């Protein structure tokens, strides 16, 4: 198991390296010079900039300096257009917490709701409740999160005025959460539906198994057998879908963050691409790569922990 | 045998002539099947039509496709025709407006108008006032908010109506909506076709030859699938520029891997079967074995997974449009229209509502249709994810 994890982490580092190389090359080969921003710069300033950032040297050498800075100084470069002169890593450090907060809260808020819906649908299988849950699942999974976001923003935010239309940056405490409610809600529809669908299928199958019959024969009540035996056995496989859902939600939050003007990673990525702030774009792409690679790694390792049958690469 | 051993004398004493074949010269009463044999696709069809939701979804997809093909030519406006004097017009369909349902009547709210002017035909042409709200007295003036039929207010004939309104450049939303649906569907269908084409060939070769070939080919897919989708798509568009072709390619570049894996798994299931061995013994060449004998087994999963891939391609296209990497103006797509509509949501919600309805309908229908196909192709998977 240990060797397997080490191998996987090495592969992860290699993949990250390839991604950062490709991203660097792509971004550097894009049209548009760094010097455009300041308008007319004197030769002196250009020379000074060249001396600092090595823009006049061949791209391979620039690449070398880029990697050297990252590995030796953890220096991801400097933003050129969004916030000129500010180190990219500092910008990310401001933005990451709020994105993570948004995504994690919406995911964890979705879990109990989704589980409740799934359990309800499974124990009331083939009744109106089940059909209603199934309908909701189809709607929530199919309709894109940005459509939900727009609908919530218009009806709950604008027409009814229950929540702020956009995220309130300056507010703190309750007011901040109040303004964060709509984006969280918009993001949680998809995980709710996925959890409900998965748990319903899983629990419905468990309920038909023989140990459930045995439990009931031994005199457990319906609720006891469902909660202690059925539910417990269906919970384990849930791990497998919850972790990848996190990477999923991140992608959706990119758009939802722009809609609600949340100052997180999503808005930053959109802005930096549109402003062609290259170093920033590379760093953001790296952030997203890192998140999704780590997610995949956690899933693969947790498979082995949760279910020893799929463990690979361990001792015989 | 025990029965015989124990009663040996008894059996042996029966003379041989007494043993007669029962059916020797008799008529056989078995009859031929009266019904026709049901083939694979007939079987699938029969199972598919039983699923009402999927059939309805298929019908909706069909109707939307018809509109995507014919919709743009139903209106007199072209998709890139700009009318600077008619920007952000409300939707109005004359036939529905006559029914007084409160929708599609070209209603637009004018705030803080003088009540006395409403009867002045110079300012408010005949029949343009729909509803008067909120009358109040300000500085001795009678002030009201008034819903007007904006087309009549502007002095336009019914024939000139924008059925679904116009956007910020005065372009007809009806025409753009259906042209956008067409573009989005095209992007989705073409990218999925490319996925299937590459995936099937790659997966077949990898699965059929196995061994070292398989190992190398699967390593390559593992590397490709390690790259996060958002990052790959974004980088690709940044390199190739924002066009329909590069959007399609950016969706293909990573997604074919899933098809390839699935096809490979199918090959591993079937390549060891006896009928394949028999065919090989008869001297059937590899290519024929792959495409004639083994591949048709995976037709079900391939069709199903490509149907399920279509909504995710539609979603990716709108996602790209939202982050500013969508199609170049003036070409519309659902994503481009959604992200434009989002900007004016609070003032002109109708510009977002129509593309949102179409994209939601498309996604729901394709998902339901895909589920129905999956159940029809492989009933053992029913209700699974």
Q: Tens of pLDDT along B314-364?
A: 888 888 888 777 787 778 888 888 888 888 877 888 888 888 888 999 999
Cβ neighbors of A282 (< 8 A, separation 6 or more) are A20, A23, A24, A27, A76, A77
When mean pLDDT is compared over A248-262, B176-190, B313-327, B329-343, the highest value belongs to B176-190
Q: Tens of pLDDT along A115-144?
A: 888 888 888 878 888 888 888 888 888 888
> Are B356 and A151 in contact (CB < 8 Å)?
yes
Of B228, B239, B318, which has the smallest distance from its Cβ to A292's Cβ?
Answer: B228
Average pLDDT over residues A250-260: 77
> Are B234 and A285 in contact (CB < 8 Å)?
yes
In chain B, which among 326-365 make CB contacts under 8 A with chain A? 338, 341-342, 345-346, 349, 352, 356, 359-360, 363-364
Chain B residues with CB under 8 Å of A273 CB are: 234, 238, 323-325
pLDDT above 80: residue A82 = no
Average pLDDT over residues A249-278: 77
Would you list the domain boundaries of chain A?
A: 96-276
Q: Closest Cα of chain A to B269: distance in Å?
A: 20
Q: Is the pTM of this model over 0.90?
A: no
Tell me what pLDDT residue B385 has: 42
Structural domains in chain B, CATH included, are: 90-160 (no CATH), 173-381 (1.10.3720.10)
> Are A139 and B368 in contact (CB < 8 Å)?
no
Q: Tens of pLDDT along A3-59?
A: 778 888 888 888 888 888 888 887 777 665 555 555 566 677 777 766 666 666 777
Q: Which CATH class is domain A96-276?
A: mainly alpha
Report ipTM (2 d.p.): 0.78
Q: Which of B57, B221, B322 should we substitute to test contact with A (largest number of A Cβ atoms within 10 Å)? A: B322
Chain B residues with CB under 8 Å of A204 CB are: 383
Q: Closest Cα of chain A to B2: distance in Å?
A: 40
Tell me what pLDDT residue A305 has: 67
Residues B283 and A46: their CA atoms lie apart, in Å, by 72
Q: Confidence class of residue A303 from pLDDT cuts 50, 70 and 90?
A: low
Q: Confidence class of residue A308 from pLDDT cuts 50, 70 and 90?
A: low
pLDDT above 80: residue A148 = yes
Tell me what pLDDT residue A314 has: 40
Chain A residues with CB under 8 Å of B239 CB are: 26, 29-30
Any A CB within 8 A of B231 CB: yes
Tell me what pLDDT residue B194 has: 92
Please provide the average confidence, as pLDDT, over all residues in chain A. 78
Q: Confidence class of residue B197 from pLDDT cuts 50, 70 and 90?
A: very high
């Amino acid at each position: 198991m240990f060797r397997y994890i080490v191998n996987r982490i090495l592969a992860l580092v290699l993949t990250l390296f390839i991604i950062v190389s490709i991203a660097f090359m792509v971004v550097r080969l894009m049209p548009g010079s760094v010097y455009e921003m300041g308008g007319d710069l004197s030769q002196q300033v250009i020379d000074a900039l060249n001396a600092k950032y090595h823009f006049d040297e061949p791209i391979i050498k620039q690449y070398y300096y880029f990697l050297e800075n990252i590995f030796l100084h953890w220096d991801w470069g400097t933003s050129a257009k969004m916030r000129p002169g500010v180190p990219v890593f500092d910008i990310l450090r401001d933005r990451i917490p709020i994105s993570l907060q948004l995504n994690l809260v919406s995911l964890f808020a979705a879990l109990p709701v989704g589980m409740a819906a799934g359990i309800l649908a499974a124990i009331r299988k083939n009744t109106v409740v089940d059909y209603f849950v199934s309908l909701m699942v189809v709607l929530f999974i199919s309709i894109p999160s940005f459509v939900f976001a727009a609908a919530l923003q218009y009806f709950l935010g604008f027409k009814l005025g229950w929540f702020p239309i956009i995220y309130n940056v300056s507010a703190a405490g309750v007011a901040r959460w109040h303004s964060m409610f709509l984006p969280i809600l918009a993001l949680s529809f998809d995980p709710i539906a996925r959890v409900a669908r998965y748990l319903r299928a899983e629990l419905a199958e468990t309920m038909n198994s023989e140990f459930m019959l045995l439990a009931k024969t031994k005199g457990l009540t319906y609720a006891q057998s469902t909660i202690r035996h059925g539910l417990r056995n269906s919970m384990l496989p849930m791990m497998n879908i919850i972790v990848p859902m996190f990477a999923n939600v991140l992608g959706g939050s990119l758009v939802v963050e722009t809609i609600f003007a949340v100052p997180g990673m999503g808005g930053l990525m959109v802005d930096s691409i549109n402003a062609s702030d290259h170093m920033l774009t590379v760093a953001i792409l790296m952030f997203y790569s890192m998140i999704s690679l780590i997610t995949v790694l956690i899933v693969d390792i947790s498979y082995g922990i949760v279910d020893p049958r799929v463990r690979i690469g361990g001792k015989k | 045998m025990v029965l015989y051993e124990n009663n040996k004398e008894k059996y042996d004493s029966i003379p041989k002539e007494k043993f007669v074949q029962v059916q020797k010269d008799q008529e056989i009463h078995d009859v031929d099947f009266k019904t026709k044999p049901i083939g694979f696709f007939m079987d699938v069809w029969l199972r598919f039509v039983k699923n009402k939701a999927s059939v309805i979804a298929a019908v909706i997809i069909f109707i939307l496709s018809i509109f995507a093909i014919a919709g743009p030519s139903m209106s007199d406006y072209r998709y890139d025709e700009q009318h600077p004097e008619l920007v952000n017009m409300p939707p109005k369909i004359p036939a529905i407006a006559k029914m007084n349902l409160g929708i599609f009547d070209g209603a637009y709210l004018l705030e803080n108008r003088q009540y006395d002017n409403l009867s002045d035909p110079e300012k408010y042409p005949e029949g343009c006032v729909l509803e008067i709200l909120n009358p109040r007295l300000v500085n001795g003036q009678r002030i009201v908010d008034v819903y007007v039929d904006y087309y009549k207010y502007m002095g336009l004939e019914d024939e000139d109506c924008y059925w679904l309104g116009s956007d910020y450049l005065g372009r007809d939303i009806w025409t753009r909506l259906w042209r956008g649906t067409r573009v989005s569907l095209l992007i989705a269908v073409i990218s999925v076709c490319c996925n299937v084409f590459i995936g099937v060939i790659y997966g077949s070769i990898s699965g059929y030859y196995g061994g070292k070939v398989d190992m190398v080919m699967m390593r390559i897919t593992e590397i490709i699938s390690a790259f996060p989708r958002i990052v790959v798509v974004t980088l690709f568009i940044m390199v190739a520029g924002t066009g329909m072709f590069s959007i399609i390619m950016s969706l293909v570049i990573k997604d074919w891997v899933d098809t390839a894996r699935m096809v490979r798994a199918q090959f591993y299931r079937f390549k060891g079967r006896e009928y394949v061995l028999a065919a090989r013994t008869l001297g059937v060449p590899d290519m024929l074995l792959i495409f004639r004998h083994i591949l048709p087994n995976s037709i079900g999963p391939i069709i199903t997974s490509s149907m399920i891939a279509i909504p995710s391609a539609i979603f990716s296209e709108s996602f790209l449009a939202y982050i500013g990497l969508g199609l170049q103006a003036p070409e519309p797509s659902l994503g481009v229209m959604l992200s434009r509509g989002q900007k004016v949501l609070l003032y002109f919600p109708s510009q977002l509502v129509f593309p949102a309805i179409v994209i939601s309908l498309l996604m729901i229908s394709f998902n339901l249709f895909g589920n129905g196909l999956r159940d029809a192709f492989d009933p053992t998977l029913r209700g699974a994810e």
